[in-house]
Structure 1
Amino acid sequence: MAALDLFGRRWNLRILWELRDGPLGFRPLQQRCDGMSSSVLQQRLTELQETLLVERDVNGAYRLTALGRDAHAELRGLVSWADRWATELDRHPSARPAAEP
């Protein structure tokens, strides 16, 4: 359940997703995450480092660890499902997920 709590926190999955192609510095990562606040990004990166999914390289950029790459590999199935779900929702305009508060 700890993994669900970690991945359920806003932005954590997005950060893992954005690091999928390789290391990114803080500002480029922030831009890819729709300009989230620097304080929130710093909190999430600290959390992901403490849980061994993200690390900083010698240049100070953030990258996925081996465990982080494993998590990303597992998330690809969720992305495939999300694409199928979006297609189905488009076919049924009355069916929409609830908006976030």
Structure 2
Amino acid sequence: MALFDLLGRSWALGIIWQLANGAMTFRQVQESCENISPTILNRRIKELVACGLLERSDQGYQLTKTGEALFRHLKPLGAWSLQWADKLLVLEAAEPLNNET
């Protein structure tokens, strides 16, 4: 359950998701995460480093081997969430029609 606690914290998954494509500087992560506040980003990075999911490199921050393994498990969830979001849009579009009767 500790993993779910960590991943449930604001921006933790977003940071992991962004770093799945390779190393990024602090500023690049901040920009790619819709300008997350530097305080929150710093806190999350420290937590993810302490848990062995991220590490600092010459290019910035990057996923560790453990972080990469976690992302491989999360990637199908990301694909599922896109399908789910599409279904929600269809349901929301149809909802006004159902309320008119």
SS in 1 for 2:88: helix
**What does residue 36 of structure 2 align with?**
36
Instruction: Compute the RMSD of aligned alpha carbons.
Output: 1.3
* Letter aligned with residue 12 of structure 2: N
Instruction: Confirm whether residue 46 of structure 1 aligns to residue 51 of structure 2.
Output: no
Q: How does 1:1-101 map to 2 (within 5 A)?
A: 1-57=1-57, 59=58, 61-93=60-92
Q: Which has the larger radius of gyration?
A: 2
Displacement of 1:60 after TM fit? 5.6
How many aligned positions are there? 94
Q: CA deviation at 1:87?
A: 1.5
Q: Which runs of 4+ in 1 moved over 3 A?
A: none
Instruction: After superposing the two structures, state which structure 1 stretch, 44-53 or 78-87, moved more.
Output: 78-87
**AA of the residue aligned to 1:8:** G
Write the distance in 2 (CA, Å) between the matches of 1:4 and 1:37: 22
Task: Give the letter aligned to residue 38 of structure 2.
Answer: S
- For structure 2, the 5+ residue unaligned runs are 96-101
Name the structure 2 match of 1:99: none
**Which has the larger helix fraction?**
2
2:89 and 2:60 map into 1 onto residues whose CA distance is: 38
> Does the aligned pair in 1 maintain the 2:23–2:59 contact within 8 Å?
no
Distance 1:26 1:5 in 2: 23
Distance 1:76 1:29 in 2: 19
